[in-house]
Amino acid sequence: MRKVIALGGAALMTALSVTSAPAAEAPAKIQKECAVCHQMSGPASPDLAARQTRKGPPLFFAGNKFRRDWLETWLQKPTRIRPAGDFAPDHAAKGPEGDAVDAASLSDHPAVDAPAAKEIADYLMTLTPNTALLAKEDYTPGRVSARIGAMDFVKFKGCSGCHKDTPKYGGFSGPELHTAWQRLQPPFIVSYIRDPAAWEPRTLMPNKHLNTAGIHKLANYLRTIGEKPEKAK
Partner 1 sequence: MNKLFILAVFLCGSILYPRPAPAADAAHGKTLYRVYCTQCHGLSGDGKGINAPQLSVQPRNHRDRAEMSARTDDDLFKAIKEGGQAVNKSILMPNWDGNMTDDEIHDVVAYLRALCCAGAK
For residues 227 and 181, the answer to whether their CB atoms sit within 8 Å is: yes
Helix (H, G, I), strand (E, B) or coil at 14: helix
Q: Does 101 participate in binding partner 1 (rule CB under 8 A)?
A: yes
Within positions 3 to 42, which residues make up the interface with partner 1, using CB under 8 A? none
Which position among 1, 23, 24, 97 is part of the footprint of partner 1 (CB under 8 A)? 97
Three-point CA angle 104, 173, 94, nearest 5°: 50
For residues 54 to 93, the per-residue mask of contacts with partner 1, x marking binding by CB under 8 A and - elsewhere, is: ------------------------------x---xx--xx
Residue 27 neighbours by CB under 8 Å, 6+ apart? 123, 126
Q: Does 210 participate in binding partner 1 (rule CB under 8 A)?
A: no
- Specify burial of residue 85 (Cβ count, 10 A radius: 0-12, 13-18, 19+): buried
Stretch that binds partner 1, among 71-79, 118-126, 193-201, 212-220 (CB under 8 A): 193-201
Closer Cβ to partner 1, 104 or 204, answer by number: 204
State the Cα–Cα distance between residues 230 and 133, nearest whole angstrom.
31
For residues 158 and 222, the answer to whether their CB atoms sit within 8 Å is: no
Which position among 39, 130, 160, 220 is part of the footprint of partner 1 (CB under 8 A)? 160
Residues that bind partner 1 (CB under 8 A): 48, 51-52, 84, 88-89, 92-94, 97-101, 155-158, 160-162, 169-173, 195-197, 202-204, 206-209
